[in-house]
């Protein structure tokens, strides 16, 4: 899943794609680079971010969803917690709703997804982007995130969301410390078993990667370093059963994943040849 943030304040690409034409061109570039889904978002979810009202969110995303969906066969997803934004985006050509609140922010969201038959990503978080980091307290992060995510999945299924089009996401960086993030990444197979639906994971350029880089290399914490660390976590996630990863650098991720596939298929004879 390639990311198009149409926001002034997302932490890694905020402000780069506020102009709809630039955002559409970027989405098409990610499709060309091999993304399976293009995720368009108009509200930053970085820790402490201020909420955006539905009118402003629609003003940012709608032309971009329409433009990308109209010019590529690659699926478009709308990254929103609001049912009105999701509905308009689905009407404009999106086929998936990526909801970082997992259906807890808007009481109308799950019914809308069920009624439209769209695909749905239920992500785990606690509180809102403003409050979530104060809620990063767990006795056992894998068990608690697994249980809370499972209950979001069950609510989605009970509302009539299509079970074949439902993904769950542990919400790396959402109400989690760096250590929580690493614990969840290490336990992905266990988490997948607890949640019972395919997993999507988003580590791309997130701040906990700086600590991982510092522990593993003497590289500076810059964009390149975070993209390298994202590739390592992307391969890690696919190796441990994730179905979809959400990334900024689609071309690099695509190459890494194609190499992983080649490695898995390779025979000793094939490698020698």
| Chain positions contacting ligand PMM, by CB under 6 A | 3, 5, 10-12, 45-46, 79, 98, 100, 121, 123, 169, 171-172, 200, 202, 204-205, 246
DSSP-H helix ranges across 80-207 = 83-91, 109-116, 141-158, 178-186, 188-195
Which residue's C-beta sits nearest to ligand PMM? 202
Q: How far is the CB of 38 from ligand PMM (least distance, A)?
A: 13
Q: How far is the CB of 222 from ligand PMM (least distance, A)?
A: 16
Long-range Cβ pairs for the range 69-73 (8 Å, 24+): 69/93, 69/94, 71/24, 71/28, 72/27, 72/28, 72/31, 72/38
Note if 176 is an active site residue: no
Query: Nearest-CA neighbor of 1 among 94, 136, 82, 90?
Result: 94
Contacts of 13 (CB under 8 A, 6+ apart): 3, 5, 248
Nearer to ligand PMM, 2 or 272 (CB): 2
Nearer to ligand PMM, 68 or 172 (CB): 172
Catalytic residue, from 150, 206, 226, 254: name it: 206
- How crowded is residue 216: how many other Cβ atoms within 10 Å of its Cβ? 11
Query: Nearest-CA neighbor of 227 among 251, 249, 197?
Result: 249
Contacts of 254 (CB under 8 A, 6+ apart): 33, 34, 35
**Is residue 78 a contact partner of residue 40, using CB atoms and an 8 Å limit?**
yes
Note if 206 is an active site residue: yes
Q: What letters, b where the CB count within 10 A reaches 16 and e where it falls short, cover 231-263?
A: bebbbbbbebebebbbbbbbebbbebbeeeeee
Nearer to ligand PMM, 202 or 225 (CB): 202
Catalytic residue, from 60, 126, 205, 246: name it: 246
Active-site residue list: 206, 246
């Amino acid at each position: 899943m390639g990311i198009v943030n149409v926001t002034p304040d997302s932490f890694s690409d905020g402000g780069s794609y506020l102009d709809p034409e630039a955002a559409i061109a970027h989405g098409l570039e990610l499709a060309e680079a091999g993304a399976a889904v293009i995720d368009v978002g108009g509200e930053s979810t970085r820790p402490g971010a201020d909420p955006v009202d539905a009118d402003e969110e629609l003003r940012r995303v709608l032309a971009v969803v329409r433009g990308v969906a109209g010019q590529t066969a690659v699926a478009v997803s709308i990254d929103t917690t609001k049912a009105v934004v999701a509905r308009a985006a689905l009407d404009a050509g999106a086929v998936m709703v990526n909801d970082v609140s997992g259906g807890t922010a808007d009481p109308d969201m799950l019914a809308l997804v069920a009624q439209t038959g769209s695909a749905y990503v239920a992500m785990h978080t606690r509180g809102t982007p403003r409050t979530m980091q104060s809620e990063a307290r767990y006795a056992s992060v894998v068990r608690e995130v697994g249980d809370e995510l499972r209950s979001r999945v069950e609510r989605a299924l009970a509302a009539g969301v299509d079970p074949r089009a439902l993904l769950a996401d542990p919400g790396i960086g959402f109400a989690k410390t760096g250590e929580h993030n690493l614990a969840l990444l290490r336990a992905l197979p266990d988490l997948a078993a607890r949640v019972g639906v395919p997993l999507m994971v988003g580590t791309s350029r997130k701040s906990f990667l700086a600590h991982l880089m510092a522990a593993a290399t003497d590289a500076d914490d810059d964009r390149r370093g975070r993209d390298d660390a994202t590739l390592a976590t992307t391969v890690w996630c696919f190796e441990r059963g994730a179905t979809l990863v959400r990334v900024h650098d689609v071309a690099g991720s695509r190459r890494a994943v194609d190499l992983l596939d080649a490695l898995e298929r390779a025979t000793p004879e094939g490698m020698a040849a």
